[in-house]
Structure 1
Amino acid sequence: MLIGCVKERETGNFKNLLVITQNPTQYEKVELALYEKEPKIESEGNPYDYHYFKVIGEFKAPSGAITTIPAFWYQHYEISLNRAYTLPPIGYHGVASTNPDEPQGMQMVQAVGSPHYRFRIKPGESGEWTYTLTVYRNDVMQETINGSFQIAPSTENYRGVIQVDPTNNRNFSYKNGDTFIPIGQNVAWYTSSTRQAVDYDVWFKKMNENNMNIARIWLADWGFALHSGVSYNNFASRYGALARLDYVIDRAEEYDIKVILALNHHGQFSTITNPIWEKNPWNEDNGGPCKTPLTFFRDQQVKEIYKSQLLYLLARYSYTDEILAWELFNEIGWVDNYAQSSLLIKTWHNEMANFIKENDPYHHMVTTSDKGKISINYSLQSLDFSCPHSYDYGQKNVNGNVPEEIDSVYNLYQKPVLYAELGINYLNGALNYQADPTGISVKQGLWSGMMGGGAGGAMNWWWDSYIHPYNLYQVFKGAGIYAQMLNMNGPGYEQLFDVDEIEINNPFINLMGYRFPDRIYGYLFDKTWAHYNYQNIIDKNNINISIPFTDGEYRLTVYDTDSGEVIKSEDLVVSNQVA
């Protein structure tokens, strides 16, 4: 809607900027639309190319703080689910749910109105905001547009964007200092050919009900990718994919799910591993500028083209606090000739990560991932945390190994470690279910990741063919509840594994967790317990533990790791520095 009545501009190529968000409010998304007087931009060039045409907005808060962000070319749409469509779905690179108790039908995306420029911002202050829009064509300034709008105050206890916790460099925290512990899973793409992005309504609802707070999503070629189909740099044919991505981000906000958004995946630039280079529009055989996959990382002109895509994504999605991080690549180590070109690709990562940091007005984190636990790219200061991947836990004890591996990765790169993929089988979800029908390995990955020195719980794959069809979401519940109790902020971070004086009266029991000067968080576990031998585990009772700690009066609370419920809570007096 238009706020107020303003005389139309007499000069320039654009009409007045419209505030289309009803009742624009502090800490909420505010959308603004900029229409041409006569539509020329799209007919005379590529509006997704920021060197051809761009509009840069400077939005000044009442305090004088300025948010600088580009506009993005936008096609409005209406999105709906046609429940009258009853043909069964086909699985898109996964298993499609046909559960009649879930929403089923055909998701429809219908373009509405004419393309135009949009801004999306999240005002941090209430009051009168002013703006200056600067219009460039072929990198030459053409005109400026000035105006103002009002932002209503919010009563929200706003915590801000999530960053690396500066007090320990191991965890994440909101801008206000509150700890954020990720507990969730990969939901990399929708798998239903019919309801499509409505998959995320179902998954996110289940995740929210079980205290999950993180999802990892790819811009997959068969899903949300911008460079897919007919063009590598013009996304006019992808407005349906972008509409669905908007829809998913809105659902993430509704269900309070943070998102790691993987911007590229290895198969797009591989002829060997999950290869789709043959149909990649960047490929010169398809009219693109890249003779080989490595051209994407080497050629400076190609890199400048890709930066337009990054600007577009930042313009469209940086407003949301639900973005935990921009992940430059999924498993970069699988792209063609990676071993011989790792330094080149490291340079590419540094250039793109710094470009994002220079142009993201809300300062989200940046990361990448490799095909294993370590990567030369994680040594870059421009990447905020590491994302190890491992599927070698088929016959390995998760609790016994994950903390050691987290420590080894942290010692290499000195930044938070979040296992973004951890599993017992990389082939399919059915084999995971056969080996671990109750999700023991998933639960152990969550707790060992959260309590063993990591930034959060390890994230599973096979969301569509393991977690969802067998309704294993309850595995996350206890970890999700406990994660909300953790306060990792402040000095004195120490892992319980490193405290030599801890005593436990049973050799089969161990303890992982953290000691701070005024609090202890601990996870007690059976060292022999694993998904492959759980039937043989014998109950162990009457466990006594002593932990060196500061004398004083404390509250001891014991939680059920499955349900998250409190088993008991009692006062505890520490004397002689032993709890």
Structure 2
Amino acid sequence: DYTWEAASRISTLRPYGQPRWRLRFTPISAGLHQLKVAGVVEGRHVELAPIQIHVTESPQWPGVLEPHPNHSLLRYRRNGREFWAAAMNMRSPYDTRYDRVFPGTAWKPWNLKLYADLFQKYEQAGIKVIEVWLASWWLAPEWIPDARQNHGIGWYNQERLWFLDRLFELARQHGIYIILAIHNHGKFSLHCDKEWDRNPFYRGNGGYLTNPEEFFYSKRAWTDYERFVRYMCARYGWADNLLAWKLFTEINLTGRNGSWYKSAWVQKWHQKAALAFKKYDPLRHMVTTHWSGSYETAQRSMGLATLPELEMLTLDAYYNGNYGVERFYRLLTQTFNFQNQVNKPCIITEFGGSPWADILPHLYQGLHLALWTSFFGKLPTTPGLWWFPMVEEHNLYQEYQAINRFASGESRASLTRWHNRNPSAAFTMELVPDPSPPQKTSPKKHNFELWALYSQSRILGWIFDRSYYLGNDRFYEKPPRLQHFTLFLGDSSHGENNGTNLVPGKYRIDFWNCRTGEVINTHRFTVTGQNAQLSWELPPFTGDIAFKIVPDN
């Protein structure tokens, strides 16, 4: 074991006690279990006496996460309840790009203490999914001898894995799920973020591969990788807060050039790797991989993206240059369509302007739109912001708290998505300005984006001002106060019948402040079955407003 100075920003481990074996066991069923331990020690076969464990039922345990069977969402395997949460990309405690992109930052390299401190705030804000990388500079178990206990292939760094043990335990205490990225692209790349010359598989470092592409088809490399998979499943397969094994980040950036990821070898390797994790993982966690840029990169390798062994996909949502938030918003909405195309959950694990960020106003507005658009677009989680220190340094937790308050208790699996840019005949929603508002308060012409999730007993809606959020020249302006607008809800396919699709009964509509997550106005009404259309004057708002129509019990 090790001792760790929890108060230290740069954590140094000190060996403590004698080496020993530990067992973590996560039973998936109640009843009597028998544990048998056998192995080889110094060439001798050793077998311990069987141990019996009686497991009682735990109604509170929801089980691990899995794809929803009928929707591109996630659910708990044991109780079938839908899972949705805000996400954050915490691949490592520090990022050299952050210093360059945010030159005024006070952020410094941290270690495990960073996660211990931030997890408390994440729990309060409703951030329940993070991504962690087994990066060469952070937690990679196998790497060249450039850090303590790094000894190359087949030697798993126990100090780094001790940190990963604690990370899973800390996350579990705060209800946080981890997407664990096994390899970042640079380890196996000769053209982007190149780390191949430091990879233990490289012949120049005592390995046996001459270029990174051989990793995907070398029989010897596969033997070593499968042994690694077996070890990782044995050590972390217990973790019910492991959301998925992520085989690669930005697989399209591996190899000697940008086309290698489309090869049959890469597809075949992913299939074998996913099956290996399923073979050795006792809880059969999901397996995924990842593409850089946006969904468009994954779309160029549909053979890989549609592999049934990859139950979910992870993507980026970066735009090139300084195109601004409008391009990001389009990427989000197009990702919804791609998710429907592959028919599996797609999580955006990286966003934040371009790969080199953007001006702060663009990042602020992009974060707000990412949270709300992903909920109404029915993504499994919110996108994970790459520049996670920004949330802490600029205290943006209220953005996450607001969407989580609104989303609390909702199940989107039973709701149909509607968007005014792609409307359906079964539902209509309009925002109309008052034709004769009081003098000096007449609203300027605004272009609104309208989203809804609806059923016969529930309607969730979100309205935002495109001219403010997507107009690149408006970010330094104070958002205008919008008032004297009427919201109309109706179903054009039913003529003068119940235009909202709501079954008869008593309802209430709550209007929500999207920045604070607070209800600012409530109206009660009755649907008799004769309503051709329902309408309410919106309370004054700035930027955007949300609403819920629910049965008034």
Q: TM-score, normalised by structure 1?
A: 0.75
Residue in structure 1 matched with residue 62 of structure 2 by the alignment: 159
Residue in structure 2 matched with residue 16 of structure 1 by the alignment: none
Q: Does structure 1 conserve the Cα–Cα contact (< 8 Å) formed by 2:183 and 2:247?
A: yes
3-state SS in 1 of match to 2:12: strand
Tell me the CA shift for residue 471 of structure 1. 2.1
Residue in structure 2 matched with residue 540 of structure 1 by the alignment: 482
Query: Residue by residue, what CA displacement relative to the aligned partner does 1:417-464 show, whole Å, maximum 9, x if unpaired?
Result: 221112213225xx543x447x22111111111211322212211113
Residue in structure 2 matched with residue 284 of structure 1 by the alignment: 203
Query: Matched residues in 1 for 2:332 and 2:418: separation?
Result: 10
Residue in structure 2 matched with residue 294 of structure 1 by the alignment: 213
User: 5 Å matches for 1:429-444?
Assistant: 431-433=358-360, 435-436=361-362, 439-444=364-369
Q: Does 1:457 align with 2:382?
A: yes
Q: Does 1:552 align with 2:504?
A: yes
Q: Does 1:222 align with 2:133?
A: no
Residue in structure 1 matched with residue 84 of structure 2 by the alignment: 181
Residue in structure 2 matched with residue 416 of structure 1 by the alignment: 345
Tell me the CA shift for residue 470 of structure 1. 2.0
Q: Does structure 1 conserve the Cα–Cα contact (< 8 Å) formed by 2:329 and 2:369?
A: no
Tell me the CA shift for residue 315 of structure 1. 1.2
Residue 276 of structure 1 aligns with an amino acid whose one-letter code is E
Query: Matched residues in 2 for 1:463 and 1:80: separation?
Result: 24
Residue in structure 1 matched with residue 439 of structure 2 by the alignment: none
Residue number among 219, 230, 238 corresponding to 1:319 in the alignment:
238
3-state SS in 2 of match to 1:418: strand
Residue in structure 2 matched with residue 478 of structure 1 by the alignment: 402
- The worse-fitting range, judged by mean Cα deviation, of 389-398 and 492-501 is 492-501
Residue in structure 2 matched with residue 111 of structure 1 by the alignment: 15
Query: Residue by residue, what CA displacement relative to the aligned partner does 1:298-331 show, whole Å, maximum 9, x if unpaired?
Result: 1122112111111111111121221111111110
Q: Does structure 2 conserve the Cα–Cα contact (< 8 Å) formed by 1:379 and 1:413?
A: yes
Residue in structure 2 matched with residue 378 of structure 1 by the alignment: 305
Residue number among 462, 465, 469 corresponding to 1:526 in the alignment:
465
Query: Matched residues in 2 for 1:256 and 1:399: separation?
Result: 30
Structure 1 residues 183 and 339: alpha-carbon distance in aligned structure 2, compared to 1, 3 A threshold: same
3-state SS in 2 of match to 1:426: coil
Residue number among 248, 265, 279 corresponding to 1:329 in the alignment:
248
Query: Matched residues in 1 for 2:31 and 2:311: separation?
Result: 34
3-state SS in 1 of match to 2:143: coil
- The worse-fitting range, judged by mean Cα deviation, of 248-257 and 409-418 is 409-418
Residue in structure 1 matched with residue 188 of structure 2 by the alignment: 269
Query: Matched residues in 2 for 1:234 and 1:381: separation?
Result: 29
Residue 412 of structure 1 aligns with an amino acid whose one-letter code is Q
Q: Does structure 2 conserve the Cα–Cα contact (< 8 Å) formed by 1:559 and 1:565?
A: yes
Q: Does structure 1 conserve the Cα–Cα contact (< 8 Å) formed by 2:247 and 2:288?
A: yes
Query: Matched residues in 1 for 2:155 and 2:530: separation?
Result: 67
Q: Does 1:504 align with 2:504?
A: no
Query: Residue by residue, what CA displacement relative to the aligned partner does 1:39-97 show, whole Å, maximum 9, x if unpaired?
Result: xxxxxxxxxxxxxxxxxxxxxxxxxxxxxxxxxxxxx222223x5xxxxxxxxxxxxxx
User: 5 Å matches for 1:138-157?
Assistant: 142=45, 144-151=47-54, 153=56, 157=60
Residue number among 347, 360, 375 corresponding to 2:281 in the alignment:
360
Residue in structure 2 matched with residue 59 of structure 1 by the alignment: none
Q: Does 1:234 align with 2:154?
A: yes
Q: Does structure 2 conserve the Cα–Cα contact (< 8 Å) formed by 1:172 and 1:455?
A: no
Tell me the CA shift for residue 346 of structure 1. 1.3
Tell me the CA shift for residue 221 of structure 1. 0.7
3-state SS in 1 of match to 2:514: coil
Unaligned runs of 5+ residues in structure 2 are 95-106, 146-150, 433-445, 491-499, 535-553
Residue in structure 2 matched with residue 305 of structure 1 by the alignment: 224
Residue in structure 2 matched with residue 46 of structure 1 by the alignment: none
Query: Residue by residue, what CA displacement relative to the aligned partner does 1:518-546 show, whole Å, maximum 9, x if unpaired?
Result: 32222222222326324265333223130
Q: Does structure 2 conserve the Cα–Cα contact (< 8 Å) formed by 1:399 and 1:527?
A: no
Structure 1 residues 389 and 462: alpha-carbon distance in aligned structure 2, compared to 1, 3 A threshold: same
Structure 1 residues 229 and 484: alpha-carbon distance in aligned structure 2, compared to 1, 3 A threshold: farther
Q: TM-score, normalised by structure 2?
A: 0.79
Unaligned runs of 5+ residues in structure 1 are 1-75, 84-103
3-state SS in 1 of match to 2:222: helix
3-state SS in 1 of match to 2:39: strand
Q: Does structure 2 conserve the Cα–Cα contact (< 8 Å) formed by 1:163 and 1:175?
A: no
Structure 1 residues 475 and 174: alpha-carbon distance in aligned structure 2, compared to 1, 3 A threshold: farther
3-state SS in 2 of match to 1:344: helix
Structure 1 residues 198 and 126: alpha-carbon distance in aligned structure 2, compared to 1, 3 A threshold: same
Query: Residue by residue, what CA displacement relative to the aligned partner does 1:144-187 show, whole Å, maximum 9, x if unpaired?
Result: 54422444647661111111111323444453122111312111
Tell me the CA shift for residue 483 of structure 1. 2.9
Q: Does 1:209 align with 2:124?
A: yes
Query: Residue by residue, what CA displacement relative to the aligned partner does 1:458-501 show, whole Å, maximum 9, x if unpaired?
Result: 2211113x2222222222111122232321344x6444554344
Residue 529 of structure 1 aligns with an amino acid whose one-letter code is Y
3-state SS in 2 of match to 1:263: strand
Structure 1 residues 157 and 411: alpha-carbon distance in aligned structure 2, compared to 1, 3 A threshold: closer
**Percent identity of equivalent pairs:** 21
Tell me the CA shift for residue 215 of structure 1. 0.8
Q: Does structure 2 conserve the Cα–Cα contact (< 8 Å) formed by 1:398 and 1:445?
A: no
Residue 454 of structure 2 aligns with an amino acid whose one-letter code is R
Residue in structure 2 matched with residue 168 of structure 1 by the alignment: 71
3-state SS in 1 of match to 2:305: helix
User: 5 Å matches for 1:29-48?
Assistant: none
Query: Matched residues in 1 for 2:16 and 2:57: separation?
Result: 31
Structure 1 residues 155 and 363: alpha-carbon distance in aligned structure 2, compared to 1, 3 A threshold: closer
Residue in structure 1 matched with residue 97 of structure 2 by the alignment: none
Tell me the CA shift for residue 143 of structure 1. 5.7
User: 5 Å matches for 1:17-56?
Assistant: none
Residue in structure 1 matched with residue 37 of structure 2 by the alignment: 133
Q: Does structure 2 conserve the Cα–Cα contact (< 8 Å) formed by 1:418 and 1:449?
A: no
Residue in structure 1 matched with residue 355 of structure 2 by the alignment: 426
Structure 1 residues 137 and 408: alpha-carbon distance in aligned structure 2, compared to 1, 3 A threshold: farther
- The worse-fitting range, judged by mean Cα deviation, of 386-395 and 529-538 is 529-538
- The worse-fitting range, judged by mean Cα deviation, of 493-502 and 216-225 is 493-502
Tell me the CA shift for residue 110 of structure 1. 2.0
3-state SS in 2 of match to 1:274: coil
Residue in structure 2 matched with residue 488 of structure 1 by the alignment: 412
Structure 1 residues 518 and 304: alpha-carbon distance in aligned structure 2, compared to 1, 3 A threshold: farther
3-state SS in 2 of match to 1:544: strand
Residue number among 544, 565, 571 corresponding to 2:518 in the alignment:
565
Q: Does structure 1 conserve the Cα–Cα contact (< 8 Å) formed by 2:9 and 2:113?
A: no
Query: Matched residues in 1 for 2:343 and 2:458: separation?
Result: 24
Tell me the CA shift for residue 108 of structure 1. 2.6
Query: Matched residues in 2 for 1:539 and 1:479: separation?
Result: 21
Query: Matched residues in 2 for 1:270 and 1:108: separation?
Result: 31
Query: Residue by residue, what CA displacement relative to the aligned partner does 1:340-393 show, whole Å, maximum 9, x if unpaired?
Result: 452211111111112112221112111111113142221111111222212217
Tell me the CA shift for residue 399 of structure 1. 7.8
Query: Matched residues in 1 for 2:350 and 2:195: separation?
Result: 22
Query: Matched residues in 2 for 1:328 and 1:259: separation?
Result: 14
